Structure 1
Amino acid sequence: MYDGALILESLRVGTELSGIPVVVRKISRYDVSSATTDQPPVWSVLEFEVEDWHAEALAKDLAAALDAPGWYADFHNDKEIFVVFPGRVFRYPRGDAAAREEAQRFGRELGIPEPQLDWTE
């Protein structure tokens, strides 16, 4: 089972995620001090679980649904992490510092502020 988080404002207008069963664990709203000018100052966060055999499909669907430039979603299990940006998926073993840095570098190229590049390791 993978645990993850999706900022609902990160989805492109007109997109829909369906066909992949996820369990919603929590929905929250937050004021965000590190929001960029392209991001709203309040975010709705959906925390979810997805079964192992659906993880790749979810990553692919998220890569097609996330808005650009500065958004991503992430989910992880005990062994690996998915970090999904618009059009790009990073999948790496937990604890792989070089792979994490590669994903963070890509996020920086999209203009994502450093404080937001803080997914669970």
Structure 2
Amino acid sequence: MTITGTLIGDGLRVDAEFAPPGARIRRIYRLDQAAAAGKGQPRVWTVVDFEADDADAVARALSESLSPVGGWYADFRDGADRVIVYAGAIFRYSPGDAETRAAAIAHGRSVGVPEHQLDWDD
């Protein structure tokens, strides 16, 4: 199954590489996020829309390449599941799994993700 995701390039660690096997870039663009950016996040983001065939490989690659500073994370769907990825942490939950969703939100708060960014469309 092909997954699609969005990576904010500015959220990568310096010298990190996001290169899961078989990932394909769909588009790259810049977005003014002055109103939505959190503390330590730039006003303008570089957005990379991608697709890949292996959700677990994408999650591992993101977890290894995202910066632990600045409240960065990535999220995507794998079928009905939502996958939330932080530097060093991966949360996967199915619809109705309130416990894992709450743990992903709590982790996001603990690493500085702005509250308004923790409202994933489930």
1:72-91 equivalences in 2 (<5 Å): 72-91=73-92
1:19-76 CA-partner distances (Å, limit 9, x unpaired): 511232232221111222311111111122211xx21122112111100231001111
Q: Which residue of 1 aligns with 2:115?
A: 114
1:6-45 equivalences in 2 (<5 Å): 6-32=7-33, 33-45=35-47
State the shift of 1:117 in Å.
Answer: 1.8
- Is the partner of 2:42 in helix, strand or coil? coil
* Fraction of identical pairs, as percent: 41
Q: CA RMSD in A?
A: 1.6
Q: Which runs of 5+ in 2 are unaligned?
A: none
2-structure distance, mates of 1:8, 1:120: 21
Equivalent residue pairs, number? 119
Normalising by the residue count of structure 1, what TM-score does the alignment of the two structures yield?
A: 0.87
- Is the partner of 2:67 in helix, strand or coil? coil
Which range moves more in the overlay, 20-29 or 98-107?
Answer: 20-29
1:67 aligns with 2:67: yes
Matching residue's letter, 2:81: E
Change (3 A) 1:19 1:3: closer
Does the CA contact (< 8 Å) of 2:9 and 2:45 recur in 1? yes
Q: Which runs of 5+ in 1 are unaligned?
A: none
Change (3 A) 1:95 1:31: farther
